[in-house]
């Protein structure tokens, strides 16, 4: 069975000037389409589709040094985002200045190929750090993209053989701040490991106003976080048949004193990784409302007077229910989340008993 996967490889820095020139051209196409769409809506009340836009941009690729597929993809992406955000005009793509847009060059299937050990696109060869063995894949759609440090990457969709893991475990996951994720079987992903040893270096670079160094340290932190979340999510997907996660919203905590820990935890990224990896492996992944999962006993279902409640109870890590069961705060919540996923508590966790 085949499934699609996006590969991301870094392009060598010698190609940066060419890619930046192509990205400038992409910005011109985007801004032209933006103005064209706005005028059509204002003057005729017509929302242009990607098909409507194409005649206006035919031939632009040759003049701007872009592949014709790239020009078409810019128009299609513009229409998609305009519909998504429900606006008559989107933000302009800026090619210079402090707030410049990061480079982006989309392409369709067939516009990028692998030739002579290099990536070939629009008459140009690009050398990459090939960590995947790209010669074995047939490239589909994708893009060239730039990060905040000016490094360029090739992102391309390929087909791979789907590997169905043999694991049959059922796991509930509680997302938190002390530990990024705690599983119902006691497995934990520690929080704070991504940045703590880099905080002194980051503070020094910020005080010295070394912008490039600050960007490099932030990128290292982000890479550490992504690596840890990838490994943690892959281990769970390989051994589980059912994964249930508490649907905690980061927005609920970003205006509190815990904002820094919330941003570092990467809850949304972990849920995203678990979602698409579970789909690819053919296993069940579901997010449930985690209300009262910390307070309710996973053994008897009652909310004891001893259970942690609200922000005042954040310091309570271990507690004993009136039924005699002693719980680790996060493991207990993860077990309740798993029970909700299995619909063991058909009406949700009871909140009346024990109050």
Which regions in the chain score pLDDT beneath 50? 344-348, 350-355
Are the C-beta atoms of 112 and 139 separated by less than 8 Å?
yes
Please state the pTM of the whole predicted model: 0.80
pLDDT of residue 163: 74
Write out the chain in H/E/C secondary structure: CEEEEEEEEEECHHHHHHHHHHHHHHHHHHHHHHHHHHHHHHHHCCCCCHHHHHHHHCCHHHHHCCCHHHHHHHHHHHHHHHHHHCCCCCCCCCCCCCCCCCCEEEECCCCEEEECCEEEECCEEECECCCCCHHHCCCCCEEEEECCCCCEEEEEEEEEECCCCCCCEEEEEEECCCEEEEECCCCEEECCCCCHHHHHHHHHHHHCCCHHHHHHHHHHHHHHHHHHHHHHHHHHHHHEEEEEEECCCHHHCCCCCCHHHHHHHCHHHHHHHHHHHHHHHCCEEEEECCCCCCCECCCCCCECCCCCCCHHHCCCCEEECCCCCEEEHHHHHHHHHHHHHCCCCCCCCCCCCCC
* Residue-wise pLDDT tens digits, 159-208: 988 777 777 889 999 988 778 899 998 898 887 666 778 889 999 999 99
**Interatomic CA distance for residues 73 and 50, integer angstroms:** 9
pLDDT of residue 257: 66
pLDDT of residue 253: 67
Domain edges within the chain = 2-161, 169-288
pLDDT of residue 283: 87
């Amino acid at each position: 069975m085949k499934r699609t996967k996006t590969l991301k490889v870094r392009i060598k820095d010698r190609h940066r000037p060419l890619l930046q020139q192509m990205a400038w051209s992409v910005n011109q196409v985007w801004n032209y389409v933006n103005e064209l769409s706005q005028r059509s809506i204002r003057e005729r009340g017509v929302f242009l589709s990607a098909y409507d836009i194409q005649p206006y941009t035919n031939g632009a690729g040759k003049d701007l040094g872009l592949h014709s597929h790239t020009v078409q993809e810019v128009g299609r992406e513009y229409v998609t985002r305009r519909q998504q955000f429900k606006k008559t005009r989107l933000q302009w793509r800026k090619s210079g200045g402090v707030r410049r847009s990061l480079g982006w060059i989309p392409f369709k299937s067939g516009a990028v190929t692998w030739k002579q050990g290099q990536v070939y696109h629009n008459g140009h060869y690009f050398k990459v750090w090939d960590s995947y063995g790209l010669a074995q894949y047939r490239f589909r759609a994708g893009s060239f993209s730039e990060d905040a440090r000016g490094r360029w990457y090739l992102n391309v969709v390929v087909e791979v053989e789907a590997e169905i893991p043999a694991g049959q475990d059922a796991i509930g996951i509680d997302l938190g701040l002390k530990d990024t994720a705690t599983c119902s079987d006691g497995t934990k992903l520690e929080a704070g490991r991504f940045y703590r040893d880099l905080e002194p270096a980051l503070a020094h670079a910020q005080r010295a106003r070394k912008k490039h160094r600050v960007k490099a340290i932030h990128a290292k932190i982000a890479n550490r976080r992504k690596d840890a979340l990838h490994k943690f999510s892959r281990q769970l997907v390989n051994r589980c048949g059912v994964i249930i996660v508490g649907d905690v919203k980061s927005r609920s905590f970003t205006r509190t004193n815990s904002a820094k820990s919330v941003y570092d935890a990467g809850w949304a990224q972990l849920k995203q990784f678990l979602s698409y990896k579970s789909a690819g492996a053919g296993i069940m992944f579901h997010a449930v409302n985690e209300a009262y999962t910390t307070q309710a006993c996973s053994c008897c279902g009652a909310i004891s007077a001893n259970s942690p409640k609200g922000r005042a109870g954040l310091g309570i890590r271990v507690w004993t229910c009136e039924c005699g069961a002693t719980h680790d705060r996060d493991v207990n919540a993860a077990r309740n989340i798993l029970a909700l996923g299995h619909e063991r508590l058909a009406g949700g966790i009871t909140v009346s008993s024990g109050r």
